[in-house]
Amino acid sequence: MKLIDVLTREGVFSSKGEGRRLVQQNGLSLNDERISDADRILTEADLGEDGALVKKGKKKYYRLVRA
């Protein structure tokens, strides 16, 4: 799935538009890597054993784990 879709579904973003704007402003990181593509696909390798760390801006951190 697309990263933006997953984060919107989980409540990190209130809308996909908010997510796209944050990506355009370089305000989103996945595992300490800046996300520059709003259509980035979330893969199993991104999740690893402990899940993925998502940074939204400077102060908000989220952990994505497999269900």
Residue 7 clears pLDDT 90, i.e. is over it: yes
Question: Mind listing the pLDDT tens digit for each residue in 27-63?
Answer: 999 999 999 999 999 999 999 899 999 999 999 999 9
What are the DSSP E strand ranges found in the chain? 28-30, 33-34, 52-56, 60-64
pLDDT at 67: 77
Domain assignments of the chain as residue spans, ordered by start: 3-64
Q: How confident is the model at residue 6 (pLDDT cuts 50, 70, 90)?
A: very high
Q: What CATH code would you report for 3-64?
A: 3.10.290.10
Q: How confident is the model at residue 66 (pLDDT cuts 50, 70, 90)?
A: confident
Number of H helices, E strands in the chain: 3, 4
Tokens linked to 64: 């994505």
Mean pLDDT of 6-32: 95
Query: 1, 42 in Cβ contact below 8 A?
Result: yes
